Structure 1
């Protein structure tokens, strides 16, 4: 299954200026940037077949293994914002 998101937004992290603003106002005021139309892909993967003979912990382990395999196949390490 493949889904697409139309917009991606990012926000600045705590820097000296944003930390100073937080200390003065006690409100999180982080400017956002982005909002450009970009194509993002979410890979959900193949369904895990139902087997009534396995326990909930074994099913959770199968799901964890399947997600780790998807991550290893589609995610390049180390991550990079510019490459994204």
Structure 2
């Protein structure tokens, strides 16, 4: 039997708290200030945990969908 690394994707939701005069301004501020996402060590290796670069203003990330696997790469038994 062959061994495969199977890769999929899932959507995540990012949120933060901002002060603004309108919904449009709030979205603009969040787009400018949120920063990025990063990978952390854990779950048996590196780059397996997803987090925010800056947790101020209640910045967070959480899953929105279950994973959908759509790619498989054949690997050797030791990989």
Question: Does TM, scored on the shorter chain, surpass 0.5?
Answer: no
Q: Work out which of the two has the higher radius of gyration on C-alpha atoms and give 1 or 2.
A: 1
Structure with greater proportional strand content = 2
- Give the TM-score normalised by structure 2: 0.24
- Give the TM-score normalised by structure 1: 0.24
| Greater RCO (CA < 8 Å, at least 6 residues apart) | 2
